[in-house]
Amino acid sequence: MDYEELYRQMQVVEKELKEKLSGMQKAFRVLSKDSEKGELKALPKNIGQMRGFMEDYKNAIDEYTRIMDSFDPKEYIECGDFARQMIQYCGELSVDIKGEHPVYEIFPYRVRIDSENQELYVDRKKSQCLRPQYFVDSIKRSQDKLNKAAFNADAFLNELAEAYDLALLQKESRTTASKGRSAGIREYDIFLKDLYSIMVPMQRFRREYDLQNYAFDLTRLYNSEIEMAKDGRLFEFGSSRNASKLIRILDRDGKEQYLGTIRFYKTV
């Protein structure tokens, strides 16, 4: 099943509906003008024209209904045609996509296909767009809008540094509690997802700034020219063997990278 083929058939009938509606509106304006002037002899002819347009319009509506009924949205999604065409258009528009049915990541969005209800979820937002080409194009426009939005890499890096320092204090506090003495604040690789929990501690705030938004900001920082925080510390990203702690980003070349940790340090 191909939605574009269905759409082409619908467009043909939509064009006919538009023409019939335009003709009916024109006939109505003539009828209204004649009734205003009292040209009663012309009214039966005008009414006859309107009846003809209405009959043609009804026939076109019936044809439109027949075309719609020939397409089964539930089967279209369940058989995998929607997902395959979505992936195809992502390739044509150079939109990065990863995953498998029913969950995909179209960076920085998470897309879930709800086959039972014939709906899509982009992050937590419901969408009933079942035309793959239109859906991918809208995602592409949203990505372009995000990329054009102002981003202060320095400010974001400093916020990461502050969260990193707090994570270090918490780590040293636990070390002191277990060993009975303080080993002093040292440099560690801290999980980026742990820093996210510190930066956005309350669940209700995570709805406005979720992990996808965080990953997008990490991407822009990763691809920026920024090298150090305001206190002069350098930073470096690291990976992790713990797959659940990795955050997927795209580098300047559009290639995927997986970030797990970050470390801030001072040069000797």
| Predicted confidence (pLDDT) per residue in 172-216, tens digit | 877 665 565 555 556 789 999 999 999 999 888 888 888 888 999
Report whether 160 contacts 217 (CB < 8 A). Answer: no
Cα 168 from Cα 172, distance rounded (Å): 6
The residues, any chain, with a CB within 8 Å of residue 253's CB and separated by 6 or more, are none
Q: Where is 261: in which H helix or E strand?
A: strand 261-265
So what's the pLDDT on residue 204?
A: 84
Query: SS3 of 142, please?
Result: helix
Distances (CA, A) of 92 to 87, 89, 126: 9, 5, 25
3-43: pLDDT as tens digits: 999 999 999 999 999 999 999 999 999 999 989 999 888 88
Indicate the residue type of 4.
E
149-158: pLDDT as tens digits: 889 999 999 9
Cα 16 from Cα 63, distance rounded (Å): 11
Cα 103 from Cα 117, distance rounded (Å): 15
**pLDDT bucket at 245, cuts 50 / 70 / 90:** very high
What are the backbone angles phi and psi of residue 79, rounded to the nearest 5°? -80, -10
118-133: pLDDT as tens digits: 999 998 789 889 999 9
Which string of b and e fits 94-125 if b means at least 16 CB within 10 Å?
Answer: ebbbeeeeeebbbbbbbbbbebeebbbbbeee
Report whether 94 contacts 56 (CB < 8 A). Answer: no
